[in-house]
Structure 1
Amino acid sequence: MSEWKAKRFWDAASVEEVDGGFTVRLDGRPVKTPAKAPLVVPTQALAACIAAEWDAQEGEVNPTNMPFTRSANAAIDKVTQQHAEVADLIAAYGDADLTCYRADSPAELVARQAQAWDPLIEWIHQRHGVRLVPVSGVMHQPQDIRALERLSAQTHALDAFALTAFHDLVGMSGSLVIGFAALENLHPAEHLWALSRIDETYQEELWGKDEEASELAAKKQSDFLHAKAFYDLSRPI
């Protein structure tokens, strides 16, 4: 038996201000999340992007073409309900942050990592009072517990929409430091993504590109850039 798929039943999507933010209506009917909660987002700009995704649907509704809708659903149905658990999961990256694990050879890669990541570690220290220590090799070396507690507290302080974006910014880059740098506009998102790919870029220069790996990297980059856009749109002006 074929799986039932929703089909477009509306003529136009619109944005309406409601208690707690903004919602999207389809011919006056409010959009709900998969868990049947009201789809209410913090800003008119984000609601407008979601409405545009619904307006772009033709025939069968394809959720894969609706990234802002999916992220809003995740923020409402999942992150709001499990905020502490999600924050703990993300904050754990601080103890094994990408920017802290350095190669011990070859010299060129060591230098590239230092040039890319040392400024990030100094920035998180100056901006957030957190001192992370770089280490050579792949063996785990715990960071100072006070630094990790501070990063965890700042992660837990994010609202559900920010934490939804932060989840992908950190998960795709492998770095809590890069995630915070993205939230605070230290560099453009494309540049921060490139900083997270120092090792992979070096290996590609040596051995050439692997088609499957390149496709996976492109998907991760798209998710990273979307997360940044979702975060920005969810912030009140």
Structure 2
Amino acid sequence: MSEWAPKRFWKTTETTQVEGGFGILLDGRPVRTPAKAALYVPSAALASKIAIEFDAQEDRIDPTTMPFTRTANAAVDKVMLQHAEVADMLADYGDSDLLCYRADAPEELVERQNAQWDPLLDWAADALDARLETRTGVIHAAQDQAILSRLRERVHALSAFELAAFHDLVSISGSLVIGFAAKMQHRNPEELWTISRLDEIWQEDQWGEDEEAAEMALVKKDAFLHAADFMRLIES
């Protein structure tokens, strides 16, 4: 038996400007989130993207084809209600940032990490006023608390919509610095994704690709690139 899916019930899809943002109208009625809150987003570009997703639905509604709608719903129904908790969770990545933990061998891997990760840490020192220090090995060593406090303030300053996208940028990459680099469009998202997978790519180069791991990596890549695109549309 196939899973039940709601039918498309509207004929026209359009966007509208409202106080404090932009909404999506289905036959003139505002779209609401699964929790029945009004779905208002911060930019016309993001509203248009969501409207396109609704308009693309045919006889049955398929939520898997509506990633921008899902992320916007999460921002309203979840992040707005738990903003401080989500911000704290993401800010904690600064104390164990992927880019700070380095191999001591082989030399080729060490050089690759230095070449790809050091420039991002240098950028963060300038753009975020946060110089994170590197460590050799995987044993946790705390960063300077004053630096972590500055990064935490930046994370808490993000809106609920920004934080919803930032969640995936940081949690998927394992790096608060990469998350900010994507948000601030310091590097192309594809490039940032590849940089975040340096260690995995190294392992693949040495031992070959694991099919199951490769499939999971593609899922994560799609989510990371979607989050970067969502963030870009917020700021359009």
TM-score (norm 2): 0.97
Q: Deviations over 1:17-71 (max 9, x none)?
A: 1122111111111110001000100111111110110111112211111000001
- What is the CA-CA distance between 1:5 and the residue it aligns to? 2.5
What secondary structure is seen at the aligned counterpart in 1 of 2:130? coil
Q: CA RMSD in A?
A: 1.2
How many residues align? The count is 236
Per the alignment, residue 204 of structure 2 pairs with: 204
Per the alignment, residue 168 of structure 1 pairs with: 168
Per the alignment, residue 43 of structure 1 pairs with: 43
Q: Does 1:182 align with 2:192?
A: no
Per the alignment, residue 56 of structure 2 pairs with: 56
Q: Distance in 1 between matches of 2:56 and 2:8?
A: 10
**What one-letter code is carried by the residue in structure 1 that aligns with 2:192?**
L
Q: Deviations over 1:107-158 (max 9, x none)?
A: 1101100111111111111112112110011111111111111110100001
Q: Does 1:104 align with 2:104?
A: yes
Q: Distance in 1 between matches of 2:4 and 2:21?
A: 32
Matches within 5 A, 1:218-237: 218-235=218-235, 237=236
Q: Distance in 2 between matches of 1:4 and 1:220?
A: 27
- What is the CA-CA distance between 1:4 and the residue it aligns to? 4.2
What secondary structure is seen at the aligned counterpart in 2 of 1:80? helix
Q: Distance in 2 between matches of 1:28 and 1:175?
A: 42
- What is the CA-CA distance between 1:209 and the residue it aligns to? 0.7
Q: Distance in 2 between matches of 1:92 and 1:129?
A: 17
Per the alignment, residue 214 of structure 2 pairs with: 214
- What is the CA-CA distance between 1:9 and the residue it aligns to? 0.9
Percentage identity across paired residues of the two chains:
57
Per the alignment, residue 10 of structure 2 pairs with: 10
Q: Does 1:70 align with 2:58?
A: no
Q: Distance in 1 between matches of 2:183 and 2:43?
A: 17
Q: Distance in 2 between matches of 1:56 and 1:30?
A: 17
Q: Distance in 2 between matches of 1:234 and 1:131?
A: 28
- Which 4+ stretches in 1 moved above 2 angstroms? 1-5
Q: Distance in 1 between matches of 2:182 and 2:42?
A: 20
**What one-letter code is carried by the residue in structure 1 that aligns with 2:43?**
T
**What one-letter code is carried by the residue in structure 2 that aligns with 1:200?**
E
Q: Does 1:195 align with 2:173?
A: no
Q: Distance in 1 between matches of 2:164 and 2:139?
A: 30
Q: Distance in 2 between matches of 1:218 and 1:190?
A: 12
- What is the CA-CA distance between 1:86 and the residue it aligns to? 0.4
Per the alignment, residue 151 of structure 1 pairs with: 151
Per the alignment, residue 31 of structure 2 pairs with: 31
**What one-letter code is carried by the residue in structure 2 that aligns with 1:143?**
Q
- Structure 1, unmatched stretches of 5+, are none
Per the alignment, residue 79 of structure 2 pairs with: 79
What secondary structure is seen at the aligned counterpart in 2 of 1:117? helix
